[in-house]
A = this chain, B = another copy of it.
Amino acid sequence: MSTNDIPDTVVADIHVGHAYTRDKAAYLRRLKRIEGQVRGIARMVDEDKYCIDILTQVSAINKALHAVSLGLLEDHIAHCVVGAARDSEASGDPQLVQDKVKEAADAIGRLLR
């Protein structure tokens, strides 16, 4: 996600809200699609489709969810972590950014499991 081409005031607004706010519509579309995929699997189970075909669909959802979480993580690092780095620099308190880094690493750890 590039923030190069948007005016600083907008970036400031985003920082008040959250990192993914500008991409909100895109995330909502992707989640809508994933919701539909889950419903599709329920339909396959209901219609006694072949297990392996259902598992293939589950793999597709896993992949779509991975893409969403990777996007959220990238936005989080690009905005919250980098913002905290700036705040730590300004305030001289390294704890601010260290807390954000730890939080991001814990989130990555939960996704890796």
Contact = CB atoms under 8 A, between A and B. Distances in A.
A9 to B, nearest CB: 15
A72 B98 contact: no
A24 to B, nearest CB: 6
A28 B45 contact: yes
Given A3-B94, A28-B45, A54-B72, 19 more contacts: A2-B98, A18-B50, A18-B51, A19-B51, A24-B46, A31-B45, A35-B35, A35-B42, A58-B65, A58-B68, A59-B111, A61-B65, A62-B62, A62-B65, A70-B108, A70-B112, A77-B77, A77-B104, A113-B113
A27 B47 CA distance: 12
- Give chain A's interface secondary structure class: helix
